[in-house]
Structure 1
Amino acid sequence: MKQIIQQVQQNVIRAKNFYQEFRLYDFASYSINYLTPKDTFEKEAHLAYGLKARQRLDLYRTKNPKKQRPLIVFVHGGSWQHGNKRDYLFIGETFAREGYDVAVINYHLAPEHIFPTFIDDIAQAIHYLNQNQSKLDISTDNIILMGHSAGAFNVMSVVYSAQAQSFKYKDKIKAIIGLAGPYHFDYVGDPLSEHAFNLNIPYQQVMPCYFIEPNQIKHYLLMAEQDQLVGKENSYKLDNALREKGNHSHIAVIPKTGHVTILATLASLMSHYFKTKRTILHFMEEAIED
């Protein structure tokens, strides 16, 4: 009984920390985006990749494309119930500056929609980008999936889940980059995640760790040194599962960052003071040149 009470107390603390951090991030993101340069990209907003209201994406086309014309598909976090693509202009800008095209997508949110709805949305967005690449003046030959927090789980699950059998674009994905991602956890009783999953289905039938198949994708798992929300065991367990199948996997711990600040440090205003962007750029170069 004592252990159960302690677990409940820890979950409550995690939930309070999560909502506090994301409230602060919401406020900060307005300032970050306002101060972010707007001259490194051309933006097409609210592109419909499906018929429903949340099936929209913003496309940031670089003005200085790399030879391989890589495309980053970025998926936001927010405990599967929070977040909007409009808050991530700074992500589009920071990588467009370096020669990458960036698609930032919205997806259906919990509790109205639960897994695998948001995974299906991401797959549909990638299908849309592939089918319309000529019209959009992009290429989907070198896709890099990138997600933060719940978004990191989502991008992994597009490739590694029961639903992934119908996903047709695995051979186009050069890398998956997860920032502070939860990849192996039991959502029953977890106030941050239970609303996003069917509680009658055991987590072993959902978590990407249990669906790893051999492939040539490079996986980069970034952990925030001071993360108080997502335990480091999530990345270690996924790393082990990938390596057991002979897949590439690389873990990197980013100093002086927390669960939310690991993402905020990618903004051009702050990226020079942290290792986050330099680390990701190195990983992406490695992936697309391999």
Structure 2
Amino acid sequence: MRIPPVARRTLYVLAAGAAVVAALAACSPLTAINALSPADGAITTSDIAYGNGERLKLDIYRPARPAPGAPVVVFFYGGNWNSGNRQHYAFVGRALASRGIVAVIPDYRLYPQVRYPDFLDDAAQAVAWTARHIASYGGEPNNLFVMGHSAGAYNAAMVALDGRWLGKQGLAPDRLAGWIGLAGPYDFLPIVNEDAKPVFDFPNTPRESQPVNHLDGSTLPALLIAANKDKLVNPVRNTGGLALRLRARGVAVTEVYYDGVSHTTLVGSLAAPLRGLAPTLDAIDQFVRNHTRLSKVEGR
């Protein structure tokens, strides 16, 4: 019996989901997702120091043969600024590399070792290192994007919108080609997340800590993706509110919402076994392609 294409896709998603569930029973969710995500020919270079300190290291994922002018994405993971490590997000690096993108995934210092705004200095330092060294790994520094999920999307937003952080590294936000936020908190005062309160010294959190308060000079195109069913970061206030304010300033914003994912499975949908949940990787790939600048190889 011939199975229609739609039915085949549904069966694939169900089978992949069952495999993930089985793996989750034996190990942590991110470990399982990485184990089930093929390398797809990605070349990994690990443990590169971008600063002084154990947490100031990054991993690079690149296609086996990056095309001239290959775009570069620096990805910051989430975790309430108090947890996470770059190895858990190998599936993100592999996914981006499978689309011809050179991916950089840094660690950054976490609470209680540091508080706001120290991890933003780390994020900017990782981006500056990438801008200055990624050509040696097949990436085009003129085609540099920052991206993050959850707390990592906050980091990406602040690096892209608030010129103080890259300014300390001798760069400006217009050095970037664009930025991408997945389920990011961009407007979260007063803070209700108990884990985030000590990170931002609530209730004495400064207004300048909020990405929505750094839009006056914004010019970078943005891709903002959120889950309609996000119960941790309000998508209407954060993603919708930021998109509205950016557009009011003439900034090109692509705004996308998905029904089939949650706050956490949104980033999980980048992994090969879970891509049937939402076309997140397709949206990122298209955005990067649409905003890639001419490279030096092409005459820039």
Displacement after TM superposition at 1:243 (Å): 1.9
Q: In structure 2, what is the Cα distance between the partners aligned to 1:163 and 1:170?
A: 9
Partner residue in 1 for 2:289: 285
Partner residue in 2 for 1:116: 117
Partner residue in 1 for 2:247: 243
Displacement after TM superposition at 1:189 (Å): 5.1
Does residue 253 of the first structure (1) align with residue 254 of the second (2)? no
Give the alignment of 1:5-84 within 5 angstroms: 27-84=28-85
Displacement after TM superposition at 1:159 (Å): 2.5
Does residue 209 of the first structure (1) align with residue 212 of the second (2)? yes
Displacement after TM superposition at 1:212 (Å): 1.1
Which residue identity does 1:34 align to in structure 2? Answer: A
Residues 133 and 190 of structure 1: CA distance in aligned 2, closer, same or farther (over 3 Å): closer
Does residue 224 of the first structure (1) align with residue 227 of the second (2)? yes
Give the alignment of 1:74-153 within 5 angstroms: 74-153=75-154
Which residue identity does 2:272 align to in structure 1? Answer: S
3-state SS, counterpart of residue 251 of structure 2: coil
TM-score under structure 2 length normalisation: 0.82
Which residue identity does 2:188 align to in structure 1? Answer: F
Q: In structure 2, what is the Cα distance between the partners aligned to 1:251 and 1:273?
A: 18
Displacement after TM superposition at 1:105 (Å): 0.8
Partner residue in 2 for 1:157: 158
Displacement after TM superposition at 1:133 (Å): 2.9
Q: In structure 2, what is the Cα distance between the partners aligned to 1:189 and 1:181?
A: 15
Which residue identity does 1:94 align to in structure 2? Answer: A
3-state SS, counterpart of residue 155 of structure 2: helix
Residues 86 and 102 of structure 1: CA distance in aligned 2, closer, same or farther (over 3 Å): same
Which residue identity does 1:197 align to in structure 2? Answer: F
Moved more, 156-165 or 224-233: 156-165
User: Identity of counterpart residues, as a percentage?
Assistant: 28
Kindly indicate whether the alpha-carbon contact (under 8 Å) linking 2:78 and 2:153 is maintained by their aligned counterparts in 1: yes
Kindly indicate whether the alpha-carbon contact (under 8 Å) linking 1:161 and 1:206 is maintained by their aligned counterparts in 2: no
TM-score under structure 1 length normalisation: 0.85
Aligned length: 267
Q: In structure 1, what is the Cα distance between the partners aligned to 2:180 and 2:191?
A: 26
Moved more, 116-125 or 205-214: 205-214
Structure 1 stretches lacking a partner, 5+ long: 1-22
Residues 65 and 216 of structure 1: CA distance in aligned 2, closer, same or farther (over 3 Å): farther
Kindly indicate whether the alpha-carbon contact (under 8 Å) linking 1:69 and 1:138 is maintained by their aligned counterparts in 2: yes
Q: In structure 2, what is the Cα distance between the partners aligned to 1:115 and 1:66?
A: 38
Q: Structure 2 residue aligned with 1:199, among 202, 209, 212? A: 202
Which residue identity does 1:193 align to in structure 2? Answer: A
Partner residue in 2 for 1:20: none
Give the alignment of 1:269-280 within 5 angstroms: 269-280=273-284
Kindly indicate whether the alpha-carbon contact (under 8 Å) linking 1:185 and 1:203 is maintained by their aligned counterparts in 2: no
Displacement after TM superposition at 1:160 (Å): 2.4
3-state SS, counterpart of residue 177 of structure 2: strand
Residues 188 and 263 of structure 1: CA distance in aligned 2, closer, same or farther (over 3 Å): closer
Kindly indicate whether the alpha-carbon contact (under 8 Å) linking 1:64 and 1:97 is maintained by their aligned counterparts in 2: no
Give the alignment of 1:182-197 within 5 angstroms: 182-188=185-191, 190-197=193-200
Displacement after TM superposition at 1:125 (Å): 0.8
Moved more, 179-188 or 95-104: 179-188
Displacement after TM superposition at 1:68 (Å): 2.5
Moved more, 199-208 or 247-256: 199-208
Kindly indicate whether the alpha-carbon contact (under 8 Å) linking 2:131 and 2:144 is maintained by their aligned counterparts in 1: no
Q: In structure 2, what is the Cα distance between the partners aligned to 1:182 and 1:249?
A: 17
Which residue identity does 2:261 align to in structure 1? Answer: T
| Deviating 4+ runs (over 4 angstroms) | none
Kindly indicate whether the alpha-carbon contact (under 8 Å) linking 1:61 and 1:100 is maintained by their aligned counterparts in 2: yes
